[in-house]
Amino acid sequence: MKRRSFPGGTHPPQHKSATADTPSEICPLPPELVIPLAQHVGAPAVACVNAGQRVGRGQVVGKPNGFVSVPVHASTSGLVVAVEPRPHPCGAELPAVVLQPDGDDVWAEEYLTQSFHVLTTETMLERIREAGVVGMGGAAFPTHVKLDPPHGKTIDTAIVNAVECEPWLTADRRVLLEQRDKVLTGLEVLQKISGARQMWIGLEDNQTDVAALLAPHCKQRGVGIAVMPAKYPQGAERQLIYAITGRRVPTRGLPMDVGVLVQNIGTVAALTDAVTRARPLIERMVTISGPNVVRPRNLRVRIGTPIAHLLKHCGLREEAAKVLLGGPMMGTAQHTLAVPVLRGTSGVLAFRRQDITAPAGGSCLRCGRCVAACPMHLLPTFIADYARRDALDLAERFAARNCIECGSCSFVCPAGIPLVQSIRYAKGAILARRRST
C-alpha cells in the first residue's frame, strides 16, 4: 500500500455515505430506450437497423466508422421504432436508435464462456472492440485503441482507476464490491494484453474497507493497491499516474509516453465480459443520488435508459430543479430528463431548487486560492482574465491548453468567478484559431 498524492487540489464535501453501502439493484427496463450512435470519443457509429426492425439483446445496431470508433448494441430485445435525432447528454440532439423493449430480453446469439488464456492478443482486442468497450470513467475513449499503443511505445505499468474523487458517486466502489471476480479476471486480461510488469489499483483512503477486502486477492496476483489521500481530482489520469508512479505525463503527451496505461474499474470489469464471453457492453453501474433523491442507490442500468426513468425508480422529493450527468465537479447539467444513460455515464444527480447555489461574480481578490488549488500548476485567474479579454496569445503563453477542466479553481474562488468556464473558452478559441490558420 502506498500513500502519496499530487500537489494542489481541493476537498469538496464527499456525500458518499448516501449510496456507498447500499447494494446495487437492477433497474427495470424502461418503456423506451434511446441508444445514441455517438457514445464514445471518435467517429460516431453508423446505424445499421431501420425503424420497424426487430432486434435481439446485444445485436449491433450501429457499425463502427473508422479505427477510433466502436459499434453500438441493442441493450435489450425489442422493436426499433425510429432512428432519429434525440436529446443527447452533450446538449444537442444527435442521431439515436429508439428501441421499444418487448420484455423478453433474449440475447441475439448464444455466447459461450471461454477462458481468455487460450486467446491471442489480437482476438482479445477484436472482441473488446466488437463489444464496444470504452472508458467508463466518463471520457468514453475506445478501449481497444488505448490497449493497442503504436510501435515504439511500451507499457510497463497498468493502473486501474477506482479513485472516484467526484462527490456523491459510488458506482466504482459498488463495482469493486459486487463484481470482484469480474474485476480480477479483467485485471489478468489487462495484464496479458498490455504486457505490463506492474499492476496497481488506485483507491482513495475513504475506501479502506474495499482495499482490505481486495488485499488478499491482489497479493495473490501481484497487483498492488495504492491508497491515496481523498483529494479532488485524484482520479484525473495525470494526477493518478504521478501519485502512484511519480512519473509526470508530458504536457502534450499521453500516459503511454511514460509507459503507463490507466483504465477505469468499470471498464476492467467490462473487459471480462467482452473477452471471456464476447458479450457487448450494454449495462453499467450508475449512481443515482443527490439531495433530491428519496432512495439514493446504485442501479445496474441498460445503456439508453432515459434518466427520467431512473429518477422515477428512485423517487424525487420534489420536482427536479437541476439534474447532472456525472459528478458535480465535472458533470454536465441537463436541460431535459429525456437524455439517456451512456456508456460513460457514472452518475445521475438530482437537486432541489434550494440546493442550487450560484456564487455571485465579484471581482478577483487576488487571493491565490485558485493557484494553490490548480493540480496542473497554472495561474487560473490570469488565464481567465486573458480569456475574458480575448487575449488568446497571453492565455496560450500561460499554458491555458494544459488545463484539465477539473473545476478546482471555480470551486475555491471566493469571488465566485467562473474561472474554469473562461479557461475552457480560451482552450476552444485557441484550437479554433489554429485550425483556421
Partner 1 sequence: MEFSKPLLTVSPSPHLHSGMTTSGMMGTVVLALLPACLVAVYLFGLPALQVLLICVVSAAAMEVLWQKATGRRVTVTDGSAAVTGLLVAFNLPPSSPWWLALLGVLLAIVVGKQVFGGLGHNPFNPALVARIVLLVSFPTIMTHWSAPQPGRFFADAVTAATPLSEMQATVTLTGSLPQNPTGFPTGYLLGNMAGCLGEVSALALLFGALFLLWRRVISWHIPASYLGTVIILSSLFWVIDPSRYPNPVFHLLSGGLMLGAFYMATDLVTSPLTGRGMLLYGCGCGLFTVLIRLFGSYPEGVAFSILLMNATTPLIDRYLVPRPFGMSRTGGLP
Q: Which of 376, 387, 392, 395 touches partner 1 by CB under 8 A?
A: 376
Q: Which is nearer to partner 1, 103 or 368 (CB)?
A: 368
Q: Min. distance of Cβ 193 from partner 1 in angstroms?
A: 26
Q: Which of residues 81-140 bind partner 1 (CB under 8 A)?
A: 87
Alpha helices per DSSP H over 150-261 = 171-178, 180-194, 208-221, 237-245
Closest C-alpha to 33, from 103, 128, 137: 103
Amino acid at 412: V
Stretch that binds partner 1, among 108-116, 130-138, 262-270, 319-327 (CB under 8 A): 319-327
Q: What angle is formed at CA 268 by the lines to CA 89 and CA 298, rounded to 5 degrees?
A: 55
Q: Which is nearer to partner 1, 275 or 348 (CB)?
A: 348
- 330 part of the interface to partner 1, by CB under 8 A: yes
Contact between 143 and 67 under an 8 Å Cβ cutoff? The reply is no
- 411 part of the interface to partner 1, by CB under 8 A: yes
Peptide bond into 167 cis (omega under 30): no
Q: Which of 322, 391, 429, 430 touches partner 1 by CB under 8 A?
A: 322
Stretch that binds partner 1, among 20-28, 52-60, 292-300, 334-342 (CB under 8 A): 334-342
Q: Which of residues 286-315 bind partner 1 (CB under 8 A)?
A: 306, 308
Stretch that binds partner 1, among 42-50, 221-229, 293-301, 372-380 (CB under 8 A): 372-380
Q: Which long-range contacts (CB under 8 A, 24 or more apart) does 109-116 make?
A: 109/56, 109/58, 111/277, 111/278, 111/279, 112/277, 112/278, 113/276, 113/277, 114/276, 114/277, 114/278, 115/276, 116/185, 116/188, 116/189, 116/192, 116/275, 116/276
Q: Which is nearer to partner 1, 190 or 244 (CB)?
A: 244
What DSSP string runs through 345-362? --EEEEE-GGG-------
Cell of 127: 472482441
Q: What is the C-alpha separation between 286 and 260, in angstroms, rounded? A: 27
- 377 part of the interface to partner 1, by CB under 8 A: yes
Contact between 301 and 284 under an 8 Å Cβ cutoff? The reply is yes
Q: Min. distance of Cβ 36 from partner 1 in angstroms?
A: 16
- 344 part of the interface to partner 1, by CB under 8 A: no
Residues 241-280: x where in contact with partner 1 by CB under 8 A, - otherwise, as a string: -x-----xxxx-x---------------------------
- 354 part of the interface to partner 1, by CB under 8 A: no
Q: Which is nearer to partner 1, 189 or 383 (CB)?
A: 383
Task: Name residues whose C-beta falls within 8 Å of residue 60's C-beta, 6 or more positions apart in sequence.
Answer: 48, 71, 72, 73, 74, 280
Q: Which of 88, 165, 410, 426 touches partner 1 by CB under 8 A?
A: 410
Q: Min. distance of Cβ 129 from partner 1 in angstroms?
A: 30
- 316 part of the interface to partner 1, by CB under 8 A: no
Q: Which of residues 157-196 bind partner 1 (CB under 8 A)?
A: 167
Closest C-alpha to 53, from 45, 44, 43, 62: 62
Q: Min. distance of Cβ 212 from partner 1 in angstroms?
A: 30
Sign of CA dihedral 313, 318, 324, 326: negative
Stretch that binds partner 1, among 93-101, 118-126, 203-211, 324-332 (CB under 8 A): 324-332
Q: Which of residues 13-32 bind partner 1 (CB under 8 A)?
A: 13
